[in-house]
Amino acid sequence: MKNHNYDLTKMFFAALDDSWRLEKYYIKDAESCSHCAEVFKKMKEDIDGHIEMLRGEIIKHAKEDSFD
């Protein structure tokens, strides 16, 4: 696998994990501090945007048959 394709895949899975942890734990843990909860919610929105960018790039490479 080419380095950039590996990097895309690695970052995609890392971002998915970060998004899941924010939703599953961090936002709920911050319920007692509305400021912290807002910070975590904003981070999740940003990360979810990154997930979509990475997903789109991986799909593009797959369709171009250059995901190797």
Judge whether 58 lies within some domain: yes
Do the beta carbons of residue 54 and residue 15 sit within 8 Å?
yes
- φ, ψ of residue 58 to 5 degrees: the values are -65, -45
Judge whether 25 lies within some domain: yes
- What tokens were used for 12? 């995609």
Neighbours of 24 (CB within 10 A): 10
Judge whether 59 lies within some domain: yes
The domain containing residue 39 runs over which residues? 3-63
Axis crossing angle, helix 34-63 with helix 3-21, rounded to the nearest 10: 150
Judge whether 68 lies within some domain: no
Do the beta carbons of residue 22 and residue 51 sit within 8 Å?
no
Give pLDDT tens digits for 20-36.
999 999 999 999 999 99
Give pLDDT tens digits for 42-53.
999 999 999 999
Total number of domains in the chain: 1
